[in-house]
Every structure is written in C-alpha cells, then in structure tokens.
Amino acid sequence: MTLPMSPFTVGPEDPRYLELSHSDNHRFAVEPAEFHLPRTPDDVVASLRKAVADGRAVACRSGGHCGQDFVGSPRRDLVLDLHNLNTVGRSAEGPGVRIGAGATVDQAQKALFRRWNASLPLGACSAVGMGGLVAGGGYGPLSRQLGLAVDHLHAVEVAVVDESRDVRLVTARADDTGDLGDLFWAHTGGGGGNFGVVTAYEFRSPEHLAAGPIGLARASSRLHVQKIVYPWAAMDEESFVTVMRRFFAWHERHGAPETPENSLFASFFVNHRNSGFLQLMVQQDADVDPEGKILRDFVASLTEGTRAVGIPRGGVMSWLTGTRYMSQADCGDVMGARSASKSAYHRATPTDDQFSVLHRHLNSDHPGQASYVMFNSYGGEINRRAPSDTAAPQRDSVAKSSWFTAWQDASMDELHLGWLRGLYEEFFAGTGGVPVTGDRTDGCYINYPDTDLLDAAHNRSEQPWHHLYYKDNYARLRSAKRTWDPLNVFHHAMSVEL
Ligand SMILES: Cc1cc2nc3c(=O)[nH]c(=O)nc-3n(C[C@H](O)[C@H](O)[C@H](O)COP(=O)(O)OP(=O)(O)OC[C@H]3O[C@@H](n4cnc5c(N)ncnc54)[C@H](O)[C@@H]3O)c2cc1C
C-alpha cells in the first residue's frame, strides 16, 4: 500500500526527502525523521509546540546556505523548512515591509524593487535565505551606501519556547526595551538557530522615511557593472602583491561614511592558479557618478605600472538587471559540491609578506578548480554605527574576506580542508592562525561559520571563538539566550551558550 503524501510533512519515504536533505554545502546532509513545511506562522507554532511537548529534537532552515552542519547536527527528529513563508508585503502598522523568513534574497529584492522601487542592503548571492542572512547581520553590494541589513530592521516575529515548554509567537521591535529589546537586538547579528524560529522580519529605514510611503531607500536607476578577468599567466608575484596592496589601500582611504566612493562595491575573487585567472566584480551607483569615473579610476589604479592585464566585460545596466548580472547565485561548479569556508574582517592592509604567503598557496599544486579567497568591500555606511548598537560588532573594518574551497568527492575532504587550513593559518600566523581583534583584523563573520575556531589546534590565539564573532556583545547575547531559550531548544556547534 502506498502511503498518502502530505503537503506539510515529508518523511524518508517521500520523493521530496532526498532534495530536502541536501544543503547548499553537500558535505552536510540534513536527515531528520521528518521535515515540516509550514505555510503560516501559526503552522510554525503548532509544529514546534507538538515537537517540544513530545521531547523531539528540532531545528529550522530557511535558505539552506549554512556553511556548517548547524541544521542537521546534532541529530534532529524534526526540521522545519520555512521556504513557503516567503511573502513580501506592507507592514501592518506604519511604513515598512514585512518579509517572510523563508524568502530568498532574490524574492525579496525583486518584490522590493518591482512593487515600491525600494532596496535593502541584502547579500550578493540571490539563493541565500532571509532567515539566516538577517539574523547574522547581512551585508552585500549596497552596504557601503546603506549599512548592514540589520541596520534597517524594525521588528522580528519569532516563535519562542519558554521554561514550561509553552510556545508562543512574539514580536520584538527596535524601540522595545527590557527583555523584548534584548530579543530584537539578538537578531541584529547574533546568528540563526539560537533563540527561536523567526517567521518574519520587518524593515523600516528611519533616515529614508521621507523617500516614500514604504520608508526604505529608493533603488538607484542605473548601475555601472564590470567583471574584469586577470589571467594568472600575466601576473608575477611582484604584480600580484602590488595589486592586492592597492585594493586594500583604496578601501582604507575610502572606509568612512558619507563619501561618493561609498557608491562603489567590489568582490575580488583571488582564485587558485588552476582556474587560470583572478576576477574582480565591481559595481557603482550611476546616479551618484553618471560617468563612472570612480569605478574607472579604482580599476585603473590597481594595475598601473604592473605586469597584470585586466580584460573587462560589462557596462551600464538598469538596477535589477545589473544586480542580477553581479549575483553570485549558486555559481556554476560549486552547485552540488562539498565545500569549506573561513572568514576575516580587515581593519587595515595585510603586510606584503602575507600577500606573498597568499601567492604561494594559490600557486601550489593543489588540485582544486574552485578554491579562492574573496575580498569584499566593506566600511562606508556600515562604519557609522557603534559596535554595541547591533549584535554585529565589527564597525570599523574596510574589507571582509571569505576563504573558500569546493570539491565533489568525499575522498578529497582531507586534501581540501588541509589546503584551506594551511593557507589561512599561515596567512594569520602572526596572530595565532586566526584574524584576531587587533590592529589589522577584527575577527570573523558568524554567517561564514568555521568550527575550526573551537579547536585549539587551529585557533592558537588568546581569543575564544565567541570573541572572534561577537567581541564584547557576547555577554548580552547570553543574557538574551537565558531569557528567551532557557531550555536550549535551539542549539548547534556554535550556538550562543546558556
Ligand atoms: C554561496 C553563498 C553566498 C553568500 N553570500 C552572502 C552575502 O552576500 N552576504 C551575507 O551576509 N552572507 C552571505 N552568505 C552567508 C549567509 O548569510 C549565511 O550562510 C546564512 O546563514 C544563510 O541563511 P539561510 O537561511 O540560507 O541558511 P540556513 O542553512 O537555512 O540557516 C543558517 C542558520 O540559520 C538558522 N536559521 C535559518 N532560518 C532561520 C529562522 N527563520 N529562524 C531562526 N534561525 C534560522 C539555521 O537553523 C542555521 O543555524 C553566503 C553564503 C553562501 C553559501
């Protein structure tokens, strides 16, 4: 007899189970006894209430882009997959928008633009879920102009479990104080999977209330977009070090808020030599600088007088088209792959010796086709806030990096993890193998989580993992955890400790 299929519950015998058990990173399978696919916040409360009453281990997932095994591990009985909670609409009270936690960045961005000509500083990868992205802070190509996603957060709706195992839906707002104020603040960079199940976020940008009834920044009308390829064949070590030094020096000069240069955002994919080239993706708001001089000068300044040769593609595009052109959505070869990543915030330019280390590891005989360090623009409007204004404390960096490698076959796990650790730990050898909070670096991004930071063999610094992510904000996050998840229902390898 065939069991009837439920649109709401998916068990291992259901054909959808295999697809649901995949995360973006195929190194980690999510294999609970069942998935629930709630369609409303009330569905979330009902599922959670029953699971908690039955003593079942539960976790939730929105876009499935977690870099570590936080959703599937430790063993879960139930995973709430929230992708059906994806509506984007007006806030019920006052200006602003309400975005379901299961919406992807792409769904949110398109709806904001097409309905209201509005924009938020969301991520560069369109397939990432709002649920995890926002809880961890959220940054992207508009962040130098507009700040972090959480700098525009007005309210969070979250299903929480109290000491007596009762489940209720709570809305915490930016102007709340006391315990509710702590719950709101914990969702401005504390990271997903810690306090409850977020069902929706509301955004309202106080400084843009005059821009229209929606109360968010207007999208620019056009973008200058360029993807520039630098063949490794025309890049010797001296040129490489010079280009890298100049990339950072430009960002150091233009790291403060309120300059026209904040309209520029760059992602520099410094690939392993196996892929043949380095790629700079750079965009700039054409409403601020119609001729694109800032972008042109930035790009030209990187390679002037060196042997490096840049081959450009791109032009001027309308906002949504340009944004999609620059999107790193599940990029090609990386889809369906196993991967590992690490991160760093940069307050200042690394030393030439560090760039030489990078050059050596990128020219090693490592077999990876998708192994790179991505250096992203940071600073600008992000740096207007103080470290304790939101739970995301890194507010004076000028660049942020993601150290990444992807592969297909499980037999290559150790080889790839070894390459990535070797590069990262040698690059940061002067500070215990990690980018400590110090003169040049300022810790790591919780949305690029790295469980090596828990391990004294890899983190040889004086700074524990939670300091690298949260700095002095960890004490308030723990206090919010004790109030809002006293039974530690929501936990994973790097969750906020009770
Ligand atoms: C290819 C790629 C590109 C990326 N680009 C960017 C970028 O441009 N900018 C940026 O800031 N980040 C970026 N990230 C990082 C991304 O923000 C994090 O991976 C984020 O956690 C993903 O959210 P998700 O909902 O897709 O992930 P999920 O795997 O669904 O969840 C991640 C964590 O959050 C928890 N969680 C998810 N939903 C909820 C919820 N509704 N309530 C409570 N907890 C929840 C999960 O339990 C898990 O612990 C990128 C990641 C990848 C893999």
Report helix, strand or coil for 211: helix
251: which 2 tokens?
Answer: 């960002």
- Contact predicate 59/490, CB 8 Å: yes
Q: HSE on the CB side for 141, CA within 13 Å?
A: 29
Least confident span in 184-198, 204-218, 259-273, 384-398: 204-218
402: which 2 tokens?
Answer: 């993601």
Q: What is the pLDDT of residue 1?
A: 45
130 C-alpha vs ligand 1 centroid, how far in Å?
Answer: 7
Number of the ligand 1 atom closest to the C-alpha atom of 133 = 17
449 C-alpha vs ligand 1 centroid, how far in Å?
Answer: 10
Tell me the best of 43, 66, 84 to mutate to test the pocket of ligand 1, counting ligand atoms within 8 Å of each CB and taking the most. Answer: 66
17 C-alpha vs ligand 1 centroid, how far in Å?
Answer: 21
pTM above 0.95, yes or no: yes
Domains in the chain (CATH in brackets) are 1-219 (3.30.465.10), 222-472 (3.40.462.20)
Separation CA 24–CA 337 (nearest Å)? 8
128 C-alpha vs ligand 1 centroid, how far in Å?
Answer: 6
| Cβ-Cβ contacts under 8 Å for 100 (sequence gap 6 or more) | 82, 85, 86, 87, 88, 130, 199, 200
Q: What is the pLDDT of residue 336?
A: 80
Number of the ligand 1 atom closest to the C-alpha atom of 59 = 47
455-462 average pLDDT score: 98
Separation CA 126–CA 323 (nearest Å)? 9
Separation CA 493–CA 73 (nearest Å)? 8
User: How much is the mean pLDDT over the chain?
Assistant: 95
Q: Which amino acid is at 221?
A: S
Q: Does the bond joining 74 to the residue before it have cis omega, within 30 degrees of 0?
A: yes
279 C-alpha vs ligand 1 centroid, how far in Å?
Answer: 24
125: which 2 tokens?
Answer: 């990868």
Q: Which of 376, 364, 233 lies closest to 307 in space, CA to CA?
A: 233
151: which 2 tokens?
Answer: 């700098």
Q: Which of 38, 224, 54, 139 lies closest to 402 in space, CA to CA?
A: 139
Confidence of residue 146 (pLDDT cuts 50, 70, 90): very high
Q: Which amino acid is at 451?
A: T
Q: Which amino acid is at 302?
A: L
1-5 average pLDDT score: 53
Separation CA 103–CA 63 (nearest Å)? 8
141-162 average pLDDT score: 97
448 C-alpha vs ligand 1 centroid, how far in Å?
Answer: 8
Q: What is the pLDDT of residue 208?
A: 76
Tell me the best of 22, 27, 65, 202 to mutate to test the pocket of ligand 1, counting ligand atoms within 8 Å of each CB and taking the most. Answer: 65
| Among protein residues, the one whose CA lies closest to atom 17 of ligand 1 | 133
| Among protein residues, the one whose CA lies closest to atom 6 of ligand 1 | 123
65 C-alpha vs ligand 1 centroid, how far in Å?
Answer: 5
**Ligand 1 binding site (Cβ under 6 Å of any ligand atom):** 24, 59-67, 70-71, 82, 101, 123-125, 128-129, 131-133, 135-136, 138-140, 192-193, 197-198, 328, 447-448, 492
Separation CA 31–CA 78 (nearest Å)? 9
Q: Is the pLDDT of residue 100 over 60?
A: yes
Separation CA 447–CA 136 (nearest Å)? 5
Q: What is the pLDDT of residue 298?
A: 98
100 C-alpha vs ligand 1 centroid, how far in Å?
Answer: 14
Beta strands per DSSP E along 153-232: 153-161, 167-173, 197-203, 222-231
Q: What is the pLDDT of residue 453?
A: 98
pLDDT, tens only, 8-55: 999 999 999 999 999 899 999 999 999 999 999 999 999 999 999 999
Q: Quickly tell me which residue has 């309202």 as its tokens.
A: 204
Separation CA 485–CA 489 (nearest Å)? 7
pLDDT, tens only, 193-248: 999 999 999 999 978 777 677 899 999 999 999 999 999 999 999 999 999 999 99
373 C-alpha vs ligand 1 centroid, how far in Å?
Answer: 19
Q: Which of 365, 378, 348 lies closest to 441 in space, CA to CA?
A: 348
Number of the ligand 1 atom closest to the C-alpha atom of 199 = 41
Helical axes 237-253 vs 352-362, angle rounded to 10°: 130
25 C-alpha vs ligand 1 centroid, how far in Å?
Answer: 12
Confidence of residue 330 (pLDDT cuts 50, 70, 90): low
**How many C-beta atoms surround the C-beta of residue 319 within 10 A?**
20
Q: Which of 271, 298, 269, 270 lies closest to 283 in space, CA to CA?
A: 298
53-67 average pLDDT score: 97
Q: Quickly tell me which residue has 């064949």 as its tokens.
A: 233
| Cβ-Cβ contacts under 8 Å for 207 (sequence gap 6 or more) | none
Separation CA 430–CA 197 (nearest Å)? 40
Confidence of residue 335 (pLDDT cuts 50, 70, 90): confident
439-450 average pLDDT score: 98
Q: Which of 29, 42, 35, 39 lies closest to 15 in space, CA to CA?
A: 35
66-76 average pLDDT score: 96
Tell me the best of 447, 481, 491 to mutate to test the pocket of ligand 1, counting ligand atoms within 8 Å of each CB and taking the most. Answer: 447
Q: What is the pLDDT of residue 132?
A: 98
Continuous segment of H or E residues that includes residue 223:
strand 222-231
pLDDT, tens only, 293-318: 999 999 999 999 999 999 999 999 99
Tell me the best of 43, 62, 324 to mutate to test the pocket of ligand 1, counting ligand atoms within 8 Å of each CB and taking the most. Answer: 62
Angle at 112 (CA atoms; ends 106, 117), nearest 5 degrees: 130
Confidence of residue 81 (pLDDT cuts 50, 70, 90): very high
Number of the ligand 1 atom closest to the C-alpha atom of 24 = 53
**How many C-beta atoms surround the C-beta of residue 356 within 10 A?**
15
Q: What are the residues facing 345 on neighbouring strands?
A: 400
207 C-alpha vs ligand 1 centroid, how far in Å?
Answer: 27
Q: What is the pLDDT of residue 327?
A: 84
| Among protein residues, the one whose CA lies closest to atom 23 of ligand 1 | 132
